[in-house]
Chain A
Amino acid sequence: MHRVKVRVVEDALDANNTIARANRDDFDRHGVTVLNVMSAPGAGKTTILERVLRDGLGDLRVGVLEGDVQGSLDADRLAHLHIPVTQLNTGNGFGGECHLDANMVRSALPAIPLEDIDLLIVENVGNLVCPAEFRLGEDARIMVASVAEGDDKPGKYPLMFRSCELVVVNKLDLLGHVDFDMDRFDYHLDAVHPGVARMRVSARTGEGLDELREWLTALPDRAAAPAG
């Protein structure tokens, strides 16, 4: 049998990155800034979005793409906000992908009214590992870490904590009920992603959400500014 070695030297996720670039081109063409929001399950992504988007973000027209393994519970929760919410399920029936990838987002594009929005917030599937690997065509990535998860998580999931430009620490109202030391969290976070921007919020009480609202409102201008 004749064997031949074929040199490949290609990023294993090259196919995903190519589609992500195509998504990005489409978003750019429509002037839409895209934010990828990631976290563990139950960290509070949907509740934060509910609270932050309830009163709008200034003049920004916002749309949400909800990624879930199954069902439309999260999209239903956002329905009363009267903004375009698109549900994207990664599975059919039982089980499904544990993350969004560029191709899934691409398949959802026809359902997203890109001409009617300025900012698309993509709520990724709750998972601290896989979503960090897959670019979707976004301009920025943030993650939500809740105090209930423990202060040691940055050291356990460095890939995720390194892949985002803002870490939102949620459920501040639970401090005192859980063993979470903010200094220790900051220490672990600075070890894996020194100096990354961070905010402390409680989606439940509303504490700190104004700062997040400002950050989101300014995002399109920041994304449009040349890097550096």
Chain B
Amino acid sequence: MHEFSIASAVVDTAVRHAAGRRVTVVSVRCGRLRQVVPASLAFAFEVLARDTLCDGAVLEQEIVPARLACAACAREWEIELPVFRCPTCGTAAVAVVAGEELEVESIEVSQDEEARCIA
């Protein structure tokens, strides 16, 4: 359900960087720990992009696996379930190395429609 909130933030970010140009592609990186459902985000993006510079743009989503590192035994591993404990030494002193990303990586804009969009 938070996909709508996130999609709204993604559209705003893309529109700001588009600087008046029409956006054709928006690339985002979503860490698995953000619990974003890709299909829901795509749907929310499509709906919220309407009547903005992102109208009709393709949303490319890269899902970043969740990786933890253990301070005690220096092990680094990928988790499939939200269990924040080292499987080797059992300590809870683990740090999230990856998986909390929620970034707009890049956008693709079409230059020659610039005039029309501003008009």
Which positions in A face B, CB cutoff 8 Å?
A: 1-16, 97-99, 101, 127, 129-130, 133-134, 155, 158-159, 162, 190-195
Contacts and interface: CB of A to CB of B under 8 A. Distances in A.
Contacts of B34: 133, 159
Given A8-B106, A12-B102, A12-B103, A133 B85 contact: no
A1 B113 contact: yes
Given A1-B110, A3-B24, A3-B108, A191 B1 contact: no
B6 interface: yes
Contacts of B104: 8-10, 12
B54 interface: no
Contacts of A2: 110-112
Contact of B14 (A8, A14, A158, A191): A8
B116 to A, nearest CB: 12
Contacts of B103: 8-12
Contacts of B94: 194
B5 A97 contact: yes
Contacts of A5: 106-108
Contact of A4 (B13, B14, B28, B111): B111
B75 interface: no
A98 B33 CA distance: 20
Q: Which of B6, B82, B94 has the largest count of A CB atoms less than 10 A from its CB? A: B82
A159 B81 CA distance: 12
Contacts of A4: 21, 108-111
Nearest to A5: B108
A3 B110 contact: yes
Interface residues of B, number: 36
A10 B26 CA distance: 12
Contact of B107 (A6, A127, A159, A162): A6
B12 interface: yes
Interface in B59-112: 81-85, 92, 94, 102-112
B12 to A, nearest CB: 6
Contacts of B12: 15
A113 B13 CA distance: 33
Given A9-B106, A12-B104, A15-B12, A130 B5 contact: yes
Given A8-B105, A193-B84, 10 more contacts: A1-B110, A3-B111, A6-B17, A8-B106, A12-B103, A13-B102, A16-B9, A98-B1, A99-B2, A194-B85
Contacts of A6: 17-18, 106-109
Given A2-B110, A7-B106, A12-B103, A155 B2 contact: no
